[in-house]
Amino acid sequence: MGELSAVSRDELIERISVSRKTDPNYVPSECLVYFIRNSREDNTEAWFERLFKILAERVLRALPREGVSGGKTASLTNLAIRDRVFGRFVELLSLDRTSGSDKLDYFEVRFDGALASLRRDAQEQAWREENRSAPLEYDTETGELSEEVERAAGSFDLSEALEIDDPDYRSRWEAAIDTLPRRQMRIIQMLREGIPIDSKDPNIVTIAKALGKSEKTIRTDRDKAFAALREALNGDDQ
């Protein structure tokens, strides 16, 4: 680590770009995580982006590819696992960059083990979702929510739901989140962590940037998720 800290940035990029672990110049991913976390001390995003591109490639190479197991179901499941793990890693990195969280500490100590843990969680969630795709109704031409969904979403308060300190309610809440489509689930998770949907500040990590979707798409998916959560939680009380 000390040797790498002394080299120029261009030389460091050249070193960490080596992808084969058998190469004597290969730099462990733990070191890359260390450098990318320290990049938050810079005044610009340029250095972070150079490091992130290489780290993202390493994460994606370690995840299942679509169709790797053969068959349509296996293909979709692998894609869901891949999207979920990468999305969760980006969320953790975003949280670390904005608030100095300790959630990436394990990645800096044992990267492969930490990534394997995310993958196991993603596999369990993906397998649970295979037989429950029941999308909420919305206009297929405009992509807008139906009036019923808008009404349900409008009466749901995420902050209020998070403040309810009832073990039974919290259990139902977590179970309801697990039933959401993966992008809606990721939006709810990021909202819980205080990540904004969008921002005029280009240096702020947002949900729209992390998921690569427009602000309108994120807000539409958020409202669908709110409507589904309200329906699930209220339905349990009837």
Residue 156: partners with Cβ closer than 8 Å, 6 or more residues away: 226, 227, 229, 230
CA-based diameter of the chain, in Å? 65
pLDDT score, position 156: 53
Element (H, E) at 85: helix 72-99
Please tell me the pTM assigned to this model. 0.52
Q: Among candidates 218, 199, 172, 236, which has minimal Cα distance to 98?
A: 199
Q: What does the pLDDT profile of the chain (238 residues) look like in tens digits?
A: 668 887 888 999 999 999 888 998 899 999 999 999 988 877 667 888 899 999 999 998 888 765 444 444 446 677 878 888 888 899 899 888 887 778 889 999 999 888 888 888 887 776 666 544 434 444 444 444 444 444 444 445 565 555 555 566 677 778 888 888 888 888 888 888 788 888 888 778 888 888 888 888 998 888 888 888 877 776 554 4
Q: What per-residue confidence (pLDDT) applies to 62?
A: 85
* Phi, psi of 138, deg, nearest 5: -155, 165
d(CA 68, CA 64): 7
